[in-house]
Amino acid sequence: MNGMNGDAHPHTTVDLARRRDELTARTVELQWDLGGLLYEMATRNHIRVDVLVRRAAVLQVLDGELKEVERILRTEETGAAGQCASCDAPHSSGAAYCWQCGQPLLEQVPSAAICA
């Protein structure tokens, strides 16, 4: 146990907690901006759906990353399943890809080996 509170990887938890806080702040800011943008478009009776969709897509990506970071933090509190071989980021059981670098976490097995 390396951490003051008994965490095996305290620096990873702190980094993830910091990232969660950054993502939360950015998500709130983008939600606020999107709402304001829609309001301004509506008051001018000139709604540009393409602009709204682009802004919402950025928000959706950030929200997805935020949810993944929160899930990993919860997993760390209860115990992570392992670490990514490429970047050492923690991952939960059942994760197929690393949340940080995107590398597969599961061993790639040729289809011929499965059929044998």
pLDDT band, residue 71 (cuts 50/70/90): confident
pTM of full prediction above 0.95: no
- Is the pLDDT confidence value at 98 over 60? yes
Rg (the chain; Cα; Å): 20
Backbone angles phi, psi at 83, to 5 degrees: -125, 150
What span, in angstroms and rounded, lies between the C-alpha atoms of 69 and 100? 9
pLDDT band, residue 113 (cuts 50/70/90): low
pLDDT band, residue 1 (cuts 50/70/90): very low
- Is the pLDDT confidence value at 101 over 60? yes
